[in-house]
Amino acid sequence: MEAVGPVNEFQRVLQDKAIAPLRRTSKSYVLFVTALVLIIAWGLLVYGLQLKEGLVLTGLRDRVSWGLYITMYVFFIGVSMAGTFISAILRITHAGWRTPVTRTAEMVTVSALIVAGIFIIFNSRQNPHLTVYKILHFARWESPVIWDVLGLVTYLVGSLTYLYAALIPDLAMCRDTVGSKASWLRRWYFRAFALGWIDAPEQRRSLQKALGIMMILIIPVAVTMHTVTSWLFAMTLREPWHSPMFGIYFVAGAIFSGVGIIVLLIAVLRKMCRLEEYITKKHFLYLGYILAAFSGAMFFLNVNELVVNGYTLSGGIEMHLKDLLTGSMAPLFWTYFWGGIVAPVVIIAVPATRTIGGVVAASILVNIGMFIERYLIVVGGARLPLNPYEVPSYSPTWIELSVTAGGIALFLLIIAVLMKIVPSVAVWEMVEDHDKESGGTRGSLASQEGR
């Protein structure tokens, strides 16, 4: 199947850099993947012990039944928000600077959703297949838990479809550049999944139309997913959770932490694939501005909640606020507030620290802070007694820490594998934007190299 159109120099250089990780595997990559596999294996071994002995091996008890596992579920659900959502928003607004970061964002969404679903299973005392069977067979449609399951599956399917559709032209490029030296499996893979793409005008129009429809649909799906996740907490009668603000809280926090993860990943990608020419300071600054905006939103939401609850002190909220502000949870809360909300916006606001390194540092602080925030929501809310008892204690055991480490390693492994089987930047979109800016002739999306 012949490709059409010429290949300009910009496209040729970009293709070589984008395809390089697919052609060559460095020792550092092998060591990194090996370490991830070993961590996952340890996590699975410990999870097997948890299944055998029960959740009694964890720090979870009847009064605090949600802990680190549900914290990680909420955290990864949040991380998934910024991927497809940010990609779709930037495509809708025709933000030309988006093209080097959208592929990474979409990979983050898919990886985070897969791992988030697994953390739900980790929190169950039953075998995974039995847990899934009971959810499907005994589903109660009036339960927010079932809404969350449906939302997760819908969001994952939609995000996979969105990622794959945008990959087709680049898979065709790989098909036409991989050459005869590649294994038959690799050649078959690119040929099969490129779906006969030859960069014909009608194919391009169909793809643009499909992406336009999907990016419109994926935005309400993403917002719904994070709102429904908040309802798992808000629709209970526990005082700290029972709030109509939780939907806004979760959506804003999800974009906040997700953008932070994207910044960290593109920083690694930029160095690993030598894409400094294409992923520039501008991309980090623009993502930093998004971080600063949502840092302001999170500051407002937190202060609003503290002022309203502190003024009314209804129900058991006084006990919760004392625990949060001056009690045993205070070190975590103030670390989150000053380190995860205030410090990032200061870093990005000050010209001297508004650099690539500064935005990366702000992103690290954001994700540390947002993990703490999720922990405070889950564990801090669960600690408030429903009856006049003393506040229960909870801390993760080595069992939970080991299984959680395995889940985090799986998230990184999925992204690492994706970067070895598909180009980690959207070559066809970058070429298209470059040609529009330069006023040149658009190059082919599937080059004729290697024929």
Residue with tokens 């526990």: 238
Percentage helix, strand, coil for the chain under 3-state DSSP, each rounded to 5: 75, 0, 25
CA 110, distance to chain mean position in Å, is: 7
Question: Distance between CA 442 and CA 184 in Å, rounded?
Answer: 31
Question: Distance between CA 130 and CA 378 in Å, rounded?
Answer: 25
**Amino acid at site 71:** T
Q: DSSP class of residue 56?
A: G
Residue 130 lies in a domain: yes
Domain span holding position 96: 9-284+396-432
Three-state SS annotation for 28-39: HHHHHHHHHHHH
Handedness of CA 289, 105, 447, 5 (dihedral sign): negative
Residue 451 lies in a domain: no
Residue 295 lies in a domain: no
User: Largest alpha-carbon pair distance within the chain?
Assistant: 76
Residue 345 lies in a domain: no
The CATH code of the domain that includes 112 is 1.20.1630
SS3 of residue 24 by DSSP: coil
Taking only the tens of pLDDT, the chain with its 451 residues reads 444 445 677 888 888 888 888 888 889 999 999 999 999 999 999 999 999 999 999 999 888 889 999 999 999 998 988 777 777 777 777 776 777 888 888 899 999 999 999 998 998 877 887 877 877 778 788 888 889 989 999 999 999 999 999 999 999 999 888 766 678 888 899 999 999 999 898 999 999 899 888 888 888 898 899 999 999 999 988 888 988 889 999 999 999 998 999 999 999 988 888 888 888 899 999 999 999 999 999 999 999 999 998 998 887 788 889 989 998 999 999 999 999 999 999 999 999 999 999 999 999 999 999 999 999 999 988 888 776 677 778 899 999 999 999 999 999 999 999 999 999 888 888 888 777 777 654 444 444 333 3
Residues 266-287, buried b or exposed e (16+ Cβ, 10 A)?
bbebbeebebeebbeeebbbbb
Q: Note whether 108 and 415 are within 8 A (CB).
A: yes
How many domains, in total, are found in the chain? 1
Residue 116 lies in a domain: yes
Burial class of 206 by CB neighbour count within 10 A (0 to 12, 13 to 18, 19+): exposed
**Whole-prediction pTM:** 0.90
Residue 228 lies in a domain: yes
Residue 379 lies in a domain: no
Residue 139 lies in a domain: yes
